Amino acid sequence: MQFVYMFSEGNAAMRDVLGGKGANLAEMTQLGFPVPQGFTVSTAACNDYYKENKVISKSIQKEIFEKLARLEAVSNKQFGGTHNPLLVSVRSGARASMPGMMDTVLNLGLTDDVVEVMAQDDARTAFDSYRRLIQMYADVVKEIDKKYFDQELEFVLKETGIDSDHDLDLDALKGLVRRYKVIYEYHANEPFPQDPRVQLMEAIEAVFRSWNNPRAIYYRKMHDIPESWGTAVNIQEMVFGNKGEGCATGVAFSRNPASGEKMLYGEFLFNAQGEDVVAGTHTPLTIDQLEKTMPEAYQEFYDLSQKLEHHYRDMQDMEFTIEKGKLFMLQTRNGKRTAQAAVQIAYDMVEEGIITKQEAINQLDTQILEGLLHPQFDEKALSVADMIAKGLPASPGAASGAIVFDATTALKYFEKGTPCILVRLETSPEDIEGMHVSSGILTSRGGMTSHAAVVARGMGKSCIVGCSEVAVKENKTAIIKGKTYREGDLISIDGSTGFVYEGRIGTQPGLLSDEFKTLLTWADELATVKVYTNADTPKDAAKALEYGARGIGLIRTEHMFFEKNRIRAMREMILSQTTVQREKALEKLLPIQRQDFVDIFSVMKELPVTIRYLDPPLHEFMPTTTQEIEELASIMSMGVSDIKTVIRSLHEYNPMMGHRGCRLAISYPEIAMMQTRAIIEAALEVKKTEGYDVQPEIMIPLVGDVKEFNFLAMRIRELADKIINEHELSLNYRVGTMIELPRACVMADQIAKSVDFISFGTNDLTQMSFGFSRDDAGEFLRDYDRLGIITKDPFASLDTEGVGQLIELAYHKARSIKPDIKIGVCGEHGGDPRSIEFFKKLGFNYVSCSPFRVPIARICVAQTK
């Protein structure tokens, strides 16, 4: 197996082996670009290093030295040589670019002897490079704090009265080298290595180690980069941007990475090495100034940047060095960009005829795009803000406002026009209006699919859940990091990151630009999977339509009863002890429910509308305060203590595994009958009055055995057909089920025989498969994360490995019985890019997500990368 490759042996397709930087250096070499030559130690060598307990094996070392010899031959220089010495840079480069996360050492190969040889030609550059090597080597290889060297440099600058190290003279640089060596020896307990081969091997090892430094680990986690990828290491002949006159080094993007504007956008420094530009220690000049001073080199660089953009079919982020007027390309990669720039660039590149629509869609990073749709914090204000806590980023968007601790107070603030953040231990249905009028929601308990999270996402409202650092007290205060916060105190929350800040931070609204809208229509042309929405109200449905949803995949009918005047009737129904009482309560619910459906059908016209029958874990609807219990007692003509007894009797230890879903309607079929009547009558009314051929899809939740479904479906179909006949109209309706229990997955072939469609309820399926409560698993999942047991919240992003297998099994079983059966997903995963990827590959007909996630989902389903 080959572990080390000359640049001339590789190409862009070898990214997995050579890392992004190595593969692109090889590709540029193949293209005949001016690239200083070198070789790449592969990612496999990095993995081998870790496998061998952090030792580079003898055989890999041998390969490295063989390639070094070839580099010496190609460059006609000698590493550590006393004649024409070769210096190299050692730079990291993983498969996915991780800017600035890992380490680099420049000027390797300099020793006390070599520097003198080099000095015969150019003494200043020689000693400038040597002092840089000692400092970088100390930092990267020996982990000696840079500050010791910086302090010394500052001292010398002060002593000589010079502003910048770029202007230090030879004597000063020689003095620095002497002192740096002393500092090095003091902290490393050994002198600076005088064998270049030792330097090289130690630097390669240090880069391997940097794969596991804390910031690299954090970055990997944020971007879903597996630890197993490892990093490659690039060893490249040094060229010098620090040789005085005619020398420069810089970085540039082929388009503006912030706005997307078509222009060369970059920074550079005269007489410097790359680190000076990226480390932010010197204030660089803008690239247009290079055009003025070195027009030829600039023009050549500009031309190459355009060629690279066409070649890679994407905006490029490039590093270059100009040595005595000669341009060298040191790196190119697809550039990181803001959401706004991503949209502009993808759109422009299609318009310019550089890429296809499919390539434009594939180019979009959906994780970044999410930001476009939600309000954002003002970047400047955010940079000086005080972060006080971190929770789970449940629903994206930035929000600032006064703390309120209950829904009633939130309403008061809303009426006054004062933005507020609802801070709760956890939320319950009573909070719904308060949630609605708040700018954001922060709960100290709950997971990614807890009530607060699901509801907030549905509303497109910024929300952080499971933020245990916020201790919400009974007396309407919250203690965060020992400080007490009271009602009215200002906080800001970022639902995209989970960060909580003290005080108010200004925000800017998110928006759908015309270019983004065009990209979305291109995506629709290309996608085979449709995007539906989860919407419980006509308003949400209209919003989702505006965002391009092609149907409703889930109406949670119980959510239609959260509002105050409705929740009473709902409670009445739940607390009923006799069929008569229940029917009386249902009679109150029927007209409300029917009108809601009329409104929703009118909005959705001839698009499918999937209505899930009541599925409340009953505890979500129980009154808790004495006042509410008293109210209910009087409505139901019962004593307060009787109501309390019923509530107690309804108490379940595991409400999520209790009397909910289809079980509720099996015990009380009159509930399903009321809902059927409401849906069918509403559909017929809209068909008759507005002429739309409405498409209701009735969905039975939490089925584990096909007999549960059959019991209900038979009654539903009987009643529906009866109503349709009475109206002497026709109506296309379907009756299907959710698959949200492991048993249902295993029995999906049997279930498929009876149902018209299947929708995976991946929230419950995840809960029931892991046995983790979706409401409060957050606490120990944090431990799991810390310990590396489960690092991705399975409620936010589908556990494709385990739960995914169940879905795959069910999918194939169902299709084996009915090859064309409509299959979708309506759990929260239907809006998560990584999960959508999974459903798309399997062949789902649709994914359904909250309105605000629809645009991103439309991009996801069209991506083919």
Residues in touch with ligand PEP (CB under 6 A): 554, 556, 615, 740, 761-764, 826-827
620: partner contacted, choices ligand PEP, Mg ion, none (Cβ within 5-8 A by kind): none
Sign of CA dihedral 156, 158, 159, 163: positive
Would you say 566 is a known binding-site residue? no
Among 48, 764, 775, 793, binds Mg ion (CB under 5 A): 764
266: partner contacted, choices Mg ion, ligand PEP, none (Cβ within 5-8 A by kind): none
Would you say 837 is a known binding-site residue? no
Minimum CB distance to ligand PEP smaller for 308 or for 745: 745
Would you say 761 is a known binding-site residue? yes
274: partner contacted, choices Mg ion, ligand PEP, none (Cβ within 5-8 A by kind): none
Antiparallel, parallel or unpaired: β 440-443 and 846-849:
unpaired
Query: Near Mg ion by CB under 5 A, which window of 192-200, 550-558, 663-671, 756-764?
Result: 756-764
Furthest-apart CA atoms within the chain: distance in Å: 104
Minimum CB distance to ligand PEP smaller for 342 or for 560: 560
Q: Pick from 419, 393, 574: which is nearest to 494 by CA?
A: 393
Active site residue: 436, 451, 559, 829, which one? 451
Q: How far is the CB of 666 from ligand PEP (least distance, A)?
A: 17
Q: How far is the CB of 105 from Mg ion (least distance, A)?
A: 54
Respond yes or no: is residue 826 known to be catalytic: yes
3-state secondary structure of 128: helix
Cα–Cα distance, 442 to 451 (Å, whole number):
12
Would you say 740 is a known binding-site residue? yes
Could you say which residues in the range 685-744 bind Mg ion, by CB under 5 A?
740
Antiparallel, parallel or unpaired: β 490-494 and 398-404:
antiparallel
Minimum CB distance to ligand PEP smaller for 685 or for 740: 740
Give the torsion through C-alpha atoms of 357, 363, 367, 368, to 10 deg. -100
Q: How far is the CB of 746 from Mg ion (least distance, A)?
A: 18
Helix (H) or strand (E) holding 204: helix 196-210
Minimum CB distance to Mg ion smaller for 276 or for 764: 764
Token pair listed for 638: 């019962």
556: partner contacted, choices ligand PEP, Mg ion, none (Cβ within 5-8 A by kind): ligand PEP
Q: How far is the CB of 607 from ligand PEP (least distance, A)?
A: 19
Among 10, 80, 274, 761, binds Mg ion (CB under 5 A): 761
Whether the CB-CB separation of 159 and 175 falls below 8 Å is answered with no
3-state secondary structure of 490: strand
Q: What are phi and psi of 651, to 5 degrees?
A: -60, 130
Q: How far is the CB of 493 from Mg ion (least distance, A)?
A: 27
Cα–Cα distance, 366 to 579 (Å, whole number):
50
Minimum CB distance to ligand PEP smaller for 448 or for 643: 448
DSSP state of 636: T
Give the torsion through C-alpha atoms of 212, 213, 214, 219, to 10 deg. -70
Would you say 763 is a known binding-site residue? yes
Token pair listed for 715: 């009654």
Respond yes or no: is residue 247 known to be catalytic: no
Sheet containing strand 483-486, edge to edge, reads: 470-473, 477-480, 483-486
Would you say 808 is a known binding-site residue? no
Q: How far is the CB of 445 from ligand PEP (least distance, A)?
A: 17
558: partner contacted, choices Mg ion, ligand PEP, none (Cβ within 5-8 A by kind): none
Secondary-structure percent of the chain, ordered helix, strand, coil, rounded to 5: 50, 20, 30
Minimum CB distance to Mg ion smaller for 490 or for 656: 656
Looking at residue 15, its amino acid is R
Q: How far is the CB of 758 from ligand PEP (least distance, A)?
A: 13
Minimum CB distance to Mg ion smaller for 681 or for 764: 764
Cα–Cα distance, 45 to 234 (Å, whole number):
12
Would you say 762 is a known binding-site residue? yes
827: partner contacted, choices Mg ion, ligand PEP, none (Cβ within 5-8 A by kind): ligand PEP
Indicate the burial class of 723 (C-beta count within 10 angstroms; 0-12, 13-18, 19 or more): middle
Minimum CB distance to ligand PEP smaller for 647 or for 702: 702
762: partner contacted, choices Mg ion, ligand PEP, none (Cβ within 5-8 A by kind): ligand PEP
Cα–Cα distance, 318 to 305 (Å, whole number):
8
Active site residue: 247, 467, 745, 826, which one? 826
Q: How far is the CB of 544 from ligand PEP (least distance, A)?
A: 16
Tell me the number of residues near Mg ion by CB under 5 A.
3
Looking at residue 52, its amino acid is E
Residues at the binding site are: 556, 612, 740, 761-764
Give the active site residues. 451, 826
Binding site for Mg ion (CB under 5 A): 740, 761, 764
Residues at the binding site for Mg(2+) are: 740, 764
Residues at the binding site for substrate are: 556, 612, 740, 761-764
